[in-house]
Structure formats: structure tokens, C-alpha cells
């Protein structure tokens, strides 16, 4: 008896998403790709500018791509302080230390401030929150003298706290975190308290996981502010070894006899300043998008 032929099951070939698009959608995708490539040009320029030798730094009109890439600018950057008591690595170390400690301090203070404003309706909490938001109207220059007096009276000149403390108060951070904490049901917090959880345990186990997108966003903002800050080095640091990398960059080409000297080192230093910001943003960009989606839209 002949065996029946086994037929292979018929399978539909799944078309790619591109084939299922209409012509208009394909045109929109092409335009978005072109715009994305155009937006990447500044990034490409920063990387290539740091690799340009001196004869290419002053070409007019300026070019995006380095014709003869070289690491001479980075060698010059580290050789500038070879005869100095304070090496360039010390400035970089100070900036990294200040940036990391600032992120931890700012996010912690903002979260601890937003939590009672959102979930503990103490007398006058609306006035406190309104006062915090009112500080957004003041320009940073208006508080320079009070800030200097506070740092001086606390005795934290020429210390890392002299860099960090002036940047602790971030009203935007309090606002964003409060918006996230407002979405937590009060019943959830009350049930945790009835189960025996203390207030700090409720904050760490329930509140903090919910506000992680806001924490990441405020962390990026505080890192960028601390990483590029020059004011604290100029005002509060008289000891050269306590100054930061942005201050060193600002002193590279100042008081020079011409506008050509050390421009290669300045281009390399600008790349050093840019790379940490780029890495931090790429790592936490999804958290930033989640923060923007939840902070103003309920």
C-alpha cells in the first residue's frame, strides 16, 4: 500500500514593516533619516576637530572631516602641565569627583524634599512648594554674593563641599519628583505602614522605584551642571589643586599673546568635556523620555 505524500504546511511569508508602508510613510522615513544624519553633524565635527593638526584648525571655510587625523592635540594637552606642580589629571579627577558627588547629593535631597511635599500634608506645605517654584524666577547672578557668604561662613572653601553645596538646591528636580510621587496611591503607602514598614522603608521600597525616571533625569541635569561648572573654582577655590577641569580649559587660551597658541589642546579638551555628557545621555535617554511623558500629562 502506497504511503500518502506528506505535504509541507503552507507558511505565509511575513513582509517586513518597510514593505507594508505606504509611499507617503516611506518618504517620511527617508526625511527623518536625513534629518537624523544632519543632527549628527555637530557630533562628527567635535570628534574630527580634536583630531585636526594645526594647519587644519584654521582653514576657511572650516571642514568637518580631518584630512590628516593626528593625536598631537591630546599630547599637547597633557604636556602643558608637565612642568607644573598640578597635572591635568588632577583637574580631571576633581571634576569627576565633584560631578559624581553632586549627582548623588542633588538627587537625594530633591527626592527627600519632594516626598513630604507630596504625601505629608503638613501645615504650610503649599507655601513651601510655591516658594521653591518661585526661586526659578531668580537669575543665578542674583544669589552669587549670598552664596559666597554662606560657603565662606561654613568654612568649606578649598574643599569638595565648596563645589557641591552651591548646586544642591534644584527646584526643577523637586518639581519633577513631586509629579511622580503624586501618582502613587495613598492606600499603597498606608497598607505598607499597617504591615509595620517604617517611613524610611516606605520611601526606599515603594517611592524610590516609582521615581527612577525622574531620578535619572535630574541626575543627567546635575551631572552636566557640575561637569561644566567654572563658577565654584573661580569664587570658592584659591588652592590650585582643588580646581576643576573646566577651569583649566578656560585658562588654556587666556592671557595668550595670540589666538593660535594652544588651540589644538583646547579642541582636545573640548572633546574630553563632551564625551561624558554623551555617554550619560545615551545610557539614560529612555528614562528622560519617560519623565517628560509623565511630568505634565496625567
Claim to verify: residue 104 and residue 219 sit in the same structural domain = yes
Measure the CA–CA gap between 180 and 117, rounded to whole angstroms: 12
Within a domain: 207: yes
Claim to verify: residue 39 and residue 167 sit in the same structural domain = no
Measure the CA–CA gap between 2 and 40, rounded to whole angstroms: 67
- 237: CATH: 1.10.3720.10
In which domain, by residue range, is 53 found?
30-70
Instruction: Provide the pLDDT for residue 257.
Output: 47
Within a domain: 15: no
Enumerate residue ranges in the chain where pLDDT < 50: 1, 10, 12, 257, 296-298
Encode pLDDT of 167-189 as tens digits.
Answer: 888 888 898 888 888 888 888 88
Claim to verify: residue 161 and residue 62 sit in the same structural domain = no
Instruction: Provide the pLDDT for residue 260.
Output: 66
Claim to verify: residue 55 and residue 104 sit in the same structural domain = no
Claim to verify: residue 61 and residue 155 sit in the same structural domain = no
Within a domain: 75: no
Domain count along the chain: 2
Measure the CA–CA gap between 215 and 106, rounded to whole angstroms: 9
Within a domain: 236: yes
Q: Are 144 and 155 in contact (CB under 8 A)?
A: no
Encode pLDDT of 223-248 as tens digits.
Answer: 988 998 998 999 899 888 899 999 98
Claim to verify: residue 65 and residue 124 sit in the same structural domain = no
Claim to verify: residue 149 and residue 209 sit in the same structural domain = yes
Instruction: Provide the pLDDT for residue 167.
Output: 87
Last residue of a domain, one of 16, 40, 70: 70
Within a domain: 20: no
42-75 residues labelled b (16+ CB within 10 A) or e (exposed): eeeebebbbbbeeebbeeeeeeeebeeeeeebbe
Measure the CA–CA gap between 294 and 298, rounded to whole angstroms: 6
Q: How many residues does the chain have?
A: 298
Within a domain: 42: yes
Amino acid at each position: 500500500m502506497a504511503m500518502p505524500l506528506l505535504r509541507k504546511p503552507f507558511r505565509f511569508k511575513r513582509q517586513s514593516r518597510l514593505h507594508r508602508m505606504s509611499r507617503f510613510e516611506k518618504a517620511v522615513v527617508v526625511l527623518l533619516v536625513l534629518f537624523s544624519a544632519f543632527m549628527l553633524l555637530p557630533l562628527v565635527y567635535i570628534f574630527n576637530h580634536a583630531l585636526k593638526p594645526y594647519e587644519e584648525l584654521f582653514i576657511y571655510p572650516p571642514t568637518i572631516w580631518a584630512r590628516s587625523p593626528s593625536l598631537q592635540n591630546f599630547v599637547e594637552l597633557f604636556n602643558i602641565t608637565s612642568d607644573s606642580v598640578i597635572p591635568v589629571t588632577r583637574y580631571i579627577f576633581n571634576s569627576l569627583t565633584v560631578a559624581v558627588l553632586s549627582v548623588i547629593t542633588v538627587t537625594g535631597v530633591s527626592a527627600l524634599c519632594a516626598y513630604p511635599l507630596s504625601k505629608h500634608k503638613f501645615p504650610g506645605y503649599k507655601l513651601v512648594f510655591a516658594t521653591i517654584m518661585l526661586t526659578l524666577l531668580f537669575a543665578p547672578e542674583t544669589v552669587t554674593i549670598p552664596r559666597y557668604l554662606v560657603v565662606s561662613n561654613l568654612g568649606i572653601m578649598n574643599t569638595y563641599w565648596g563645589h557641591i553645596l552651591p548646586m544642591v538646591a534644584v527646584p526643577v528636580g523637586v518639581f519633577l519628583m513631586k509629579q511622580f510621587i503624586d501618582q502613587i496611591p495613598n492606600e499603597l503607602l498606608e497598607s505598607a505602614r499597617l504591615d509595620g514598614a517604617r517611613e524610611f522603608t516606605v520611601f526606599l521600597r515603594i517611592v524610590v522605584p516609582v521615581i527612577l525616571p525622574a531620578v535619572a533625569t535630574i541626575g543627567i541635569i546635575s551631572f552636566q551642571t557640575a561637569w561644566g561648572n567654572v563658577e565654584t573654582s573661580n569664587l570658592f577655590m584659591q588652592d590650585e589643586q582643588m580646581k576643576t577641569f573646566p577651569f583649566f580649559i578656560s585658562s588654556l587660551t587666556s592671557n595668550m599673546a595670540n589666538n593660535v597658541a594652544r588651540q589644538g589642546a583646547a579642541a582636545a579638551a573640548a572633546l574630553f568635556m563632551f564625551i561624558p555628557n554623551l555617554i550619560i545621555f545615551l545610557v539614560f535617554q529612555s528614562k528622560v523620555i519617560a519623565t517628560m511623558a509623565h511630568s505634565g500629562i496625567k
